[in-house]
Structure 1
Amino acid sequence: MSANENLCAAEIRVILDKQRAACLANEPWTAEQRCELIDRAIGLLVDYQGEIIEALAADFGHRSPDFSRLFDVLGPLASLKYTKAKIAEWMKPDQRATDRGEAWVQYQPLGVVGILTAWNFPGNMVFNGLAGALAAGNRVMIKVSEYNPKTSELLARMFRSVYAEDEVAIITGGPEVGQAFSSQPFDHLLFTGASSIGKHVMRAAAENLVPVTLELGGKSPAIISRSADLKTAVSKIITGKLHNAGQICLAPDYVFVPEELQDAFVATVKEVVAKLYPTLLENPDYTSVINARHFERLNEYLDQARNADVELIELNPANEDFSGQPHHKIVPTLLRDPGDELLVMQDEIFGPLLPFKPYKDFAEVVAYINSRPRPLGLYYFGNDATEESFVLNRTTSGGVTLNDVLRHGGVETLPFGGVGHSGMGSYHGFDGFRTFSHGKSVLRAADGPDLMRPPYGEQMRQIVGSLIKR
């Protein structure tokens, strides 16, 4: 059992108070100190990479070791290295123009940052959030998911080996610990997870006026234009969709396909899946659904769609029997034009199920997207500049990747976050540094007459009068 498991709110507050006291008792960390703190995180990823991969496989039942190494080790490692290289530059005062003296914005640490992570990419989320928070000079408390008990226990052990509790603390435990964590008076709170939980986190944070950054996911649409190469578009959509068995906040959740290309789309998907995953059950690259609860949820979506006479197209190249398996693998499945009232079109899927919808006119695609909550990601495949501009200008989403999926989320120079139902605020790179900093306005006033100081005289009236004009 982890040292921090099942902490109550009062015990979590003790750690927060310890971190805040350490923050207030010392000068803000210098660029060199922040780099050294990030170096420790880099060392953890390198030294524990094998154990991280094993823990993730144990938590998922089965997860591709190569996928874990790419996205939960190499991905956050690259983010930490990029952040370390930029810290000194980001910390420089931001000079602002004024005729009233010398003005600048000074970035200073907020204090103690709380981070609530999800289960689908625990290594990535922990270290990416940590990168921005440490770059800004904050102490950090991280609540890891109870859905990854092995990984969470490992992370707690790893962090305790290189960080003092008043620098970075890992908190483990179930939903009640998460609730206690989100009710703490942090200086900022970053949450990644479902919109339904995000509402509770925001409500709890509001009691202490804690500013929040919420990354909530949502139903990210992909659009295949008539101008697209169908094979290329399908290959990228399916590759992205089946990464981590669809358990990615940015995974394409449904696809728009020109009405005359429906059958060609299905045939191409089958061809692509057979090449990527000739078998599924024992394939080391095909990940299991995280647990029985989510396995049952996904099967309920399929049962509801089947009862509504929706055509389900299983993508099972080797015709394997999935019953009696030791894990929770699900056959990738296409759903042809399911009704909007079905749960698979209402909820974020977070699994290897992919609805596709026909369209005749391109404008109806944008109208449909705009009639629903704003998504975290949006994907357009095509080579029509007019359509591309129409999508970019007339839809609102957290981010967009053109002619691919997911990739904008991994660009360190772009902010990552949602909008509306898919979240608020952003982090990654400089945007993460700014999110976890206070940009303090500073003015060194110039010498000269002060027109705002009474008693007001004729000279002031003449000067003010001369300035009030069109």
Structure 2
Amino acid sequence: MSLSKINQPAETGPPDQMTASDRSSSQIAGMTTALEAQRQAFRNQPNPSAQQRREWLKTLKEGLKKHQKALVNAINDDFEGRAEVESLLAEFMPSFSTIDYCRKNVAKWMKPSKRHVSLTLQPASAKVVYQPLGVVGIVVPWNYPLFLAIGPLATALAAGNRAMVKMSEFTPATSKLFAEIIADIFPADLVTVVNGEADVGAAFTALPFDHILFTGSTQVGKHVMTAAAKNLTPVTLELGGKSPVIIDDDFPIQEVAERICYGKSMNAGQTCVAPDYVLVRKHRKEAFVEAYLKAFSSMHPTVNNSQHYTAIINEKQHRRLLGHIEDAKSKGAEIRVGNNEEITDGSRRLPPHLILNATADMSVMQEEIFGPLLPIIEVDSIDDAIQFVNNRPRPLALYYFGENKQAQDKVLTHTHSGGVCLNETLFHVAADDIPFGGVGASGMGHYHGREGFQALSKAKSVFSKGRFNSVRLIFPPYNSWLKKLAIKFLSGS
């Protein structure tokens, strides 16, 4: 089958004769039909075997490998400058790793879990069985359009579900190609891809899925949760937030700066778990700034015409970041620019801007940055840093650099965040065997690993008894001395 077949609800009438409104209406109507087709397919196969799930995952991986170069090119087209190595490392490597990990472990995850039965309920047995939910709706953001589609999709398939995937309208080339690939390797009643503008996305989240997994902004996440509530659809929300970095005094500042710079510069900071601001003691601030700029220059000697540094996704996001810089300047911030470089190549590449003397009234400290801007905040102690973090909405990630175990434990136990890296940034997301998810304003629920399988499964309780019925001892009426004694014993009175 050629990749000209797009796995989307069919449009009515020739596409070139349809208005944008007609096209959206057709797509929205077709989504309901696609959902019902998947529901019927699920009813026909409500509990796929481990072997069947592994085959689905194998097919998914083979499809990605076959079209890897085309996908890299599509992502590059959408960003108008996405570093190829970053696409390989941040899109394909974790996607393949997730698929392989699910294939390896799905049979173990599917096994019923035996549970304790108290003496008072004996003779009996109890277990939990993990049952597929049905049809999972997956909403994919633009910043990592492949990995953030594959991670949830692989988890949904491992859990035995069908899936409908809404790709981002801001990555049209990738979204179109991904739809073609999925249509080529899977029947539409197993996996289908939906593309369309914001109205299509809103209609998608209003469908009565059995679960919705959304990755995106906190603001849009609230709308998704509101729409899902009308159908009592459970949600996993992977949102954003301002992920802080706390730098203690006992870790080499050059090493700290290098690791933070790599994490912040990946995808030009357009990462939901990118370091959003740095908390550092005054006596180390200048050394950190100099080491950070030196580290960036070493990794990216030039940004102009660079093949190794990613551009900002679109003009709207580029203007938003420039607005943050101007706002900070107007309110007294000192700006240090990576390489002291002015961009003259006509691209939307933006070198790092370190924002010193950042204050709470600056927009860069009020919104998730999602770009290569990094406020540097002075604190007097680790306790002050912890208080600073706790006075703000709970972030998706928190990064602590320091080797003292007591200090590490204090940060871990006195803060809340979706995840934590000690002496590193970002890489907890790529660890297959730990859950990934937010807390509070940064999201709810988890996926990745066993917890992801469980999130997209129904943990069904099963209580089983044989022919002998001990409960007969307490059947009414309760006037015999034996029943009174049994009830007294069971109630602890």
**TM range, normalised to the smaller chain?**
over 0.9
SS in structure 1 at match of 2:48: coil
For the residue of structure 2 that corresponds to 1:252, the secondary structure is: coil
Aligned match for 1:397, one of 408, 413, 417: 417
User: CA RMSD for the aligned pairs?
Assistant: 1.4
Give how far 1:455 is off: 2.3
Which amino acid is 2:157 matched to? L
Which residue number corresponds to residue 448 of structure 1? 469
| Equivalent residues, number | 467
Residue 266 (structure 2) pairs with residue 246 (structure 1): no
Q: Distance in 1 between matches of 2:364 and 2:479?
A: 72
Q: Please point out which of 370, 377, 384 is paired with 1:364.
A: 384
Per-residue CA deviations over 1:337-392 (Å, capped at 9, x if unaligned) read 31112110011100000001011122111011000000000000011222111100
Identical residues among aligned pairs (%): 39
Q: In the alignment, residue 435 of structure 2 is paired with which amino acid?
A: P
- What secondary structure is seen at the aligned counterpart in 2 of 1:16? helix
2:158–2:453 CA contact under 8 A, matched in 1:
yes
Contact 1:310–1:338 under 8 Å retained in 2: yes
Task: Give 2:79's aligned residue.
Answer: 60
The reply on whether 1:321 has 2:330 as its aligned counterpart is no
Which residue does the alignment assign to 2:447?
427
Structure 2, unpaired ranges of 5+ = 10-22
Judged with a 3 Å threshold, the aligned counterparts in structure 2 of structure 1 residues 452 and 276 are, in CA distance, closer, same or farther, namely farther
Residue number in structure 2 paired with 1:438 = 458
Task: Find the counterpart in structure 2 of residue 175 from structure 1.
Answer: 198
**1:37 maps to 2:66:** no
- 1:306 pairs, out of 329, 332, 338, with 329
Q: Give the one of 244, 247, 252 matched to 1:221.
A: 244
Whole-Å Cα distance in 1 between the matches of residues 366 and 261 of structure 2? Answer: 21
Shift of 1:78: 1.0
- The answer to whether the 8 A contact 2:131-2:458 is kept is yes
Contact kept, 8 Å, 1:8 with 1:180, in 2: the verdict is no
In structure 2, C-alpha distance between the alignment counterparts of 1:387 and 1:193, rounded to whole Å: 32
State the partner residue of 2:45: 26
Would the alpha carbon gap of residues 27 and 255 (structure 1) be closer, same or farther in structure 2, given more than 3 Å must change? closer
Deviation, 1:72, is: 1.2
Per the alignment, residue 234 of structure 1 pairs with 257
Supply the distance in 1 between the matched residues of 2:46 and 2:439 (Cα, whole angstroms). Answer: 36
DSSP-derived class of the 2:72 partner: helix
User: Which residue identity is paired with 1:86?
Assistant: N
Match of 1:88 among 107, 129, 138: 107
Aligned to 1:270: 293
Q: For structure 1, which segment, 180-189 or 385-394, has the greater mean C-alpha deviation from structure 2 after superposition?
A: 385-394
Superposed displacement of residue 27, structure 1: 4.5
Equivalent-residue separation in structure 2 for 1:162 and 1:361 (angstroms): 55
Q: Give the Cα separation in 2 of the matches to 1:329 and 1:434.
A: 40
- State the Cα distance separating 1:430 from its structure 2 match: 1.0
Q: Is 1:346 matched up with 2:390?
A: no
> For residues 16-64 of structure 1, what are the alpha-carbon distances to aligned partners after superposition, in whole Å with 9 as ceiling and x for unaligned?
0000011112342111111111111011111010001000000000011
Question: Distance in 2 between the 1:60 and 1:326 partners?
Answer: 13
Instruction: Give the Cα–Cα distance (whole angstroms) in 1 for the partners of residues 169 and 187 of structure 2.
Output: 23
Structure 2 CA distance, aligned partners of 1:453 and 1:125? Answer: 56
- Alignment CA distance shift 1:452-1:173 (3 Å): farther
* Distance in 1 (alpha carbons) for counterparts of 2:45 and 2:274: 43
How far did 1:71 drift? 1.5
Give, as a single letter, the amino acid of the residue that structure 2 aligns with 1:254.
Answer: Y
Shift of 1:464: 2.3
Q: Does structure 1 retain, via aligned residues, the 8 Å contact 2:303–2:343?
A: no
| Distance apart, 1:327 and its partner CA | 2.2
Verify the 8 A CA contact 1:242 1:352 in the aligned structure 2: yes
Using the size of structure 2 for normalisation, the TM-score is: 0.92
Distance in 1, matches of 2:396 and 2:479, equals: 57
* Counterpart position of 2:485: 462
Give the unaligned 5+ runs of structure 1: none
Provide the residue aligned with 1:115 in structure 2. 138
| Structure 2 residue 175 is matched with structure 1 residue 155 | no
**Hey, what does 2:356 align to over in structure 1?**
336
The amino acid of 1:454's aligned partner reads P
Q: Deviations over 1:79-127 (max 9, x none)?
A: 1011011111111111111143111101111000000010111110111
Q: How many Å apart are 1:140 and its aligned residue?
A: 0.4
CA contact (8 A) 2:337 2:351 kept: yes
Q: Is the 8 A contact 1:104 1:441 kept in 2?
A: yes
